[in-house]
Amino acid sequence: MALLTSKRVTHQCKNFEVFLSFRGEDTRLGFTGYLYQALDRNGFNTFVDDKLQRGENISKELLKIIENSMISIIVFSENYAFSTWCLDELVKIIECKKNDQMEVLPVFYNVNPSDVRNQKGKFGKALAKHEEKFKDSKKIQRWREALREAANISGCHYNQCYPESHFIQDIVKEVSNARFNYSPLFVTRYPVGINSRVKAMLLDIESNDVHMVGIYGPGGIGKTTITKAIFNRIYDRFEGFSYLENVKEKSMTNDGIIKLQETLLFEILGDRNLKVDNKYRGINVIKKRLCCKRILLVIDDVDNLEQIENLLGESDWLAYGSKIIITTRDKQVLSSFGKGHSTHKVQELNNDEALKLFSMYAFHRNEPKEGYWELADQFIRYGEGLPLVLKIMGADLCGRPKCEWKSALDQYKEIPNKEIQKKLKRSYDGLGETEQDIFLDIACFFKGLDKDYVVDILEGCNLYPVYVY
């Protein structure tokens, strides 16, 4: 069905994922009751107003609840418009949609959408009855406009030939897709040093033009963590957004590339049925379907230009205001972008940041326990400001006595932790064959020497630049 696709809803202060608007005497004990149960079984925090005291006018409490809901499902049944309470709910829901505060899914349950749109049939009788009672032309006009606008939103129309249980499951799937797209990304357990680095990069990202931002640095430095934090801060400002992770790894096969293209299209358009049969056609499909949207796209962990081109082709088709964020270990990959881009090198954590991050994992506090300061300082120096290394070491040492800390430090110096080696080896794997040979020579013949001294030697031999981290 793919109806909830705007993805611009601000999610941070939402108390409810779903708000159900319905006429209780029509559907509470039937369709809406079953729909609520299905949403609840699937883990949706859903509000129904059966616990609020009813009155002539809608309560401020309920208006606030609507504002703090992410999606509203409006169940239009034949007597819906006879309830002034329902009509006031509807006015508020449409207002929130116009302000990009929520998404709206109309459900026409044994009701013709044209009757809702044009206030015919029972909807016409209901509005005529309200006109006689209230004599308030402005209020009646707001109700009429809200009904018309709601009926113009793509919705779900129940056909009695279709099993009601299947229809309910279709609605639940639609809401599930919407929740997936609205959910912020998990950044990290302890975001030490993240805010200052994000702030430095947001200046470029918040410009009004089409802009590509490259973020580079060695493995374990925190590139992905930073981009996730940036993504969470700004994604709801765009008409569509997508976060593609581990692009290098997933681009090793044609099927992997096609899967990335389909993920990009789904996350922005919300259509799971949109398939790509080959990567070259996929590039054109992306351009054709997304060229009119102001999008945010993160392409995480690339090591060559082709991986970017498989997802974007040329970037000149992007709608005004679109932003592309790319992370890589190789700065050279970013040099081919041309105009309209900027690059940022991720800096290692300073001593204070490194100590805090390490301590959070090792002691669950922002500084070492008494008696551990000197040992912690040695691990900090070993970690050289790499968040990944500090995190792994801190978690590994948590709860262990001091005697084991000393043994672990010696072991780290001789044989690094397997998880650390696995992560950092990806930088080595990304080098060409010649660069790998040079790297191994450096590791064998210059072990323990100052980096600047080694760089001077390599420059003298015309072998520089080489990645010496």
Q: Which residues are catalytic?
A: 89
Q: How far is CA 306 from the centre of its chain?
A: 24
Angle at 224 between CA 222 and CA 228, to 5 degrees: 115
Structure tokens at 95: 């207002």
Burial 37-68 (b: 16+ CB within 10 A, else e): ebbeeeebebbbbeeeeeeeebeeebbebbbb
- What residues contact 115, with CB distance under 8 A and at least 6 apart? 121, 122, 123, 124
Q: What is the DSSP string of 351-366?
A: HHHHHHHHHHHHHSSS
The C-alpha atoms of residue 71 and residue 178 are separated, in whole angstroms, by 8
The C-alpha atoms of residue 423 and residue 403 are separated, in whole angstroms, by 28
Contact 183, 235 (CB under 8 A): no
Contact 76, 111 (CB under 8 A): yes
Contact 334, 326 (CB under 8 A): yes
The C-alpha atoms of residue 378 and residue 380 are separated, in whole angstroms, by 5
Kind of pairing between the strands at 16-21 and 211-216? unpaired
Give the three-class secondary structure for 242: strand
Burial group, residue 429, by CB count within 10 angstroms (0-12, 13-18, 19+): exposed
The C-alpha atoms of residue 155 and residue 144 are separated, in whole angstroms, by 18
Q: Which residue blocks in 119-163 are alpha helix, DSSP H?
A: 121-134, 137-151
Is the C-alpha dihedral spanning 145, 150, 153, 159 positive or negative?
negative
The C-alpha atoms of residue 360 and residue 338 are separated, in whole angstroms, by 41
The CA-atom distances, in angstroms, between 158 and each of 107, 112, 195, 330, 385 are 7, 9, 48, 54, 59
Residue 47 carries which DSSP code?
A: E
